[in-house]
Structures are given as C-alpha cells and as structure tokens.
Chain A
Amino acid sequence: AQSVTQPDIHITVSEGASLELRCNYSYGATPYLFWYVQSPGQGLQLLLKYFSGDTLVQGIKGFEAEFKRSQSSFNLRKPSVHWSDAAEYFCAVGANNDMRFGAGTRLTVKP
C-alpha cells in the first residue's frame, strides 16, 4: 500500500527566506502526488499536483515541487516565503481509489 512520510514536523523560516518541505512516498507504480495547505481550522487547499510529464511542477502562491523518482521524493519549494504562508502543509499520494496523506509539516514564519 502507498504511504507518505514528511520528515519535518515543524519548520521555522524568516520572511523572505527560501523554503523546502520534504516529502517521501512509497508506492510500487507511478504515483499521483499532491501538496495541500491547511490554515488553522480550515479545510485543505490544493497547491499543486504531479500526474506525469515534466517533473518540476508549478503551483499557486509561488510554490513549486519536483518529482524525483530515484529518491521517491516530491519536495515543495518556494524561493521567498511570505508571512501569510504560515500554515500546515500536507503531501499526499493517490493510488487506486484513495489518497494517503503524510502527517504534515507546520510552517512558522518569523518576521
């Protein structure tokens, strides 16, 4: 069965600094990969997704992610973080008929 690991529970970055959130997946076939963001008390908003093709995908709010099959990774990046990016970020892998989420990484942005 597919699974997702987000190694960092909590990350703190300064506003304007770059960001990379790590995601590793386990799945036997080509995965469908997603990054979602969740603000406190809210549902999940899709940031970006990878289905096939170009391994570098662009998303909303200036985020991008790179699929690396050899490393089973799908890390999320942003060149310059804004205070409004503070939230919980979830990586997910879709396969068969359900989606498996990582435990999330909480991002704190320092002024």
Chain B
Amino acid sequence: DTGVSQDPRHKITKRGQNVTFRCDPISEHNRLYWYRQTLGQGPEFLTYFQNEAQLEKSRLLSDRFSAERPKGSFSTLEIQRTEQGDSAMYLCASSARTGGGWETQYFGPGTRLLVL
C-alpha cells in the first residue's frame, strides 16, 4: 500500500488553457473525494465517487470542472478554460465505505495549480 498518489504535483498554466489532474486512491478504497484548498484556508469539498458513480457535487464545482472515475479506480479532475481564481491546491482523498456511519479519509499530497 503506497497511499494516495496525485499527478502532477505542480502545474503552471496560462489562463484559458485546460488542465487535467489524476488521483490514484488506496487500492481497496471504494470512495474517492476531491477537495480544493486556497491559501490560508482549509480544504473545501468538491465532489466524491463511490466506485465509478459520482454521487455528490458541491456548488463550488462549476460547469468548467468535470471529474471522472471510469473504472472505479483512478480519477481525473479536468478544469476547462482556466481562470486565475482556479489557482489552488487540489487534494484527493480516498476511504473504504463499509456500511453505515463514517469512514476515515486518507489524503494525497495534492496538485498545486497556478494560473497565470
């Protein structure tokens, strides 16, 4: 078990370009979460998947954002027509949902995006 991994770790892009980030969760985890963290703030929930199904999306996730988890394993987060306000750390987390209650989320190292 190597933990949650994210790629790339850093991305610099020009305004208007599209970017895609990848997250590989812990292998036996069926839930995968995306968060955004801006400077001086805690992470904010964007969306989550249970297996390949996207079950919830935050209102923070504008139409320019799309996330997929096609085979219930890795996930991608794409931002189209990036804006300077998209500059942030994008964090991925995974957990093993086994029934009712709550489960612990384990975080990856994040992808830091800078939009010029």
Contact = CB atoms under 8 A, between A and B. Distances in A.
B is bound to A: yes
Interface of A: 4, 32, 34, 36, 41-46, 49, 51, 90, 92, 94-95, 97-104
B85 interface: no
23 contacts: A4-B42, A41-B110, A42-B109, A42-B110, A43-B6, A44-B43, A44-B91, A44-B93, A44-B107, A45-B107, A46-B104, A46-B106, A95-B102, A97-B48, A97-B55, A97-B56, A98-B48, A101-B43, A102-B42, A103-B40, A103-B42, A104-B41, A104-B42
B45 interface: yes
Contacts of B56: 97-98
B108 interface: yes
B28 interface: no
Contact of B112 (A34, A36, A41, A46): A41
A73 B108 CA distance: 27
Give chain B's interface residue range (CB within 8 Å of chain A): 20 to 34
Overall SS of chain A's interface: strand
Nearest to A95: B102
B105 interface: yes
Contacts of B4: 43
A44 B40 CA distance: 14
Contacts of B55: 97
Nearest to A101: B42
